[in-house]
Chain A
Amino acid sequence: MTSLVSARGVSKHFGDVRAVDNVSFEIEKGKIMGLIGPNGAGKTTLLKAVLGLTDCDGELSVLGLDPFKQRKELMQNISFIADVAVLPRWIRVTQLLDFMQATHPNFSRSRAEELLARTQVRRDAVVRELSKGMVTQLHLSIITAIDARLLVLDEPTLGLDIIFRKEFYGNLLNDYFDGERTILITTHQVEEIENLLTDIMFINNGGILLDTSMDSLSGTYVELAVVGENADKARRFNPIYERDVFGKKVMTFEGVDRDQLDELGEVHTPSVADLFVAKIKGAAA
């Protein structure tokens, strides 16, 4: 079984609101999947369902388990950070390490100590005394010291400065990710993780807009910058989205041959952020 997460027709309704609406996808072992969507798109609800924090309709299997019913077993092989660093404010760093060691069979204390040694977090500090960045560093150190088959990160670097963010993603790729592990990550700062991801999934209004590997992205999506009358010629290829940049028309195409567009202007692969906007706006238009 290579599929770590498998969703078939997963839905979650809150009254009349369809937070997640009939969603199907697979996440395979060894992938770094970016889940990207605007606020209120259903990202967090979907992640909660994957983590067994909320129940849902449809078929959802994570590591071959029903996440809601077999939560305890699941949590032994999953580690996650929800939304922002939410460590209890009263706990001491050493107490936190003691507790993790006692309750988590896959937690490596020496690994956590090693990761903490690289930070400014003192071992005898109480969480309350730490800055927000340090709390996040502590939380990330603990979570990544768990030998988990699936790591789920929901906005892990929210509120952190750029230096720390770069460092975090660098460590994640170099130290944590080994091709055996799988990471599911959501963030607003798409640009920063673009090079990290192997797969992306766009979600909006509770549905999946795009689910593809980064490798196949350049084959499917093309961005073209044109001026003047070439714009009209380009429009005949049905761009999914069009915007103005410094007097040029920038159009995004799906499934159009690069060579056909090449003679009309500058052609390149859209960034994930631009593609995201194109897909969301294009779907709305």
Chain B
Amino acid sequence: MIKVKNISKEFDGSPILKGISTFFEKGKTNLIIGQSGSGKTVFLKCLLGLFETNSGQIFFENSPINLMTTKERTVLRQEIGMVFQGSALFDSMTVEENIMFPMQMFTKKDDDEVRERANQAIKRVNLINANEKYPDEISGGMKKRVAIARSIVMNPKYLFCDEPNSGLDPKTAILIDNLIQEITEEYNITTVINTHDMNSVMEIGEKIVFLLNGKKAWEGSNKDIFNTDNEAVSNFVYSSDLFKKVRKMYLEKK
């Protein structure tokens, strides 16, 4: 579980995050949603420790990240898997080498064991015949799968995803969403996903935190979002006519 207590972050005097408090549960897909510029990516990078917060605390299983020593942080980071928006695969390495990389860096396993574990991860994300290919030789959806495989290969306790289905067609986006949800349940990890994809919200949003201008404006689940009377979140989630109709039908049926 990750707990966030009243964190704030500013850049050059302008506040980006304003006193956010929330928690992300283990074994659930937790979503951070909000408009572009609402502070989602900064929030995620604060959780990852890539940005230092100006105030407040972030707890990973009751250990505050800002009070951790460099060594403790290094250990924590080895328990974190991250899927970046652009996948962030290493260009100079093949798919298999990309997935083997974290194990080569942090384990004492021999090459055969590392390769075997990497291939298990490759199989888990349903990547076929891509081991020897370089990132620029595979599609966007495959890149995301490689990034997910790389992030789970060390059996992380926490999985962070920054817009995992941006730039993907709707079918592939749903496949990636489902894959992340399956992995979350299977590995019993705390997953935090940064997204503004409404399909993801409806499909896998077991816990949703809505940010507006750097503040937490609403939180709940994908079921709560149909009944919410919070105008800001309704305007954001049901901005398209299709979703407005879906909500209307759902409420009428109820």
A associates with B: no
Which residues from chain A sit less than 8 Å from chain B, CB to CB? none
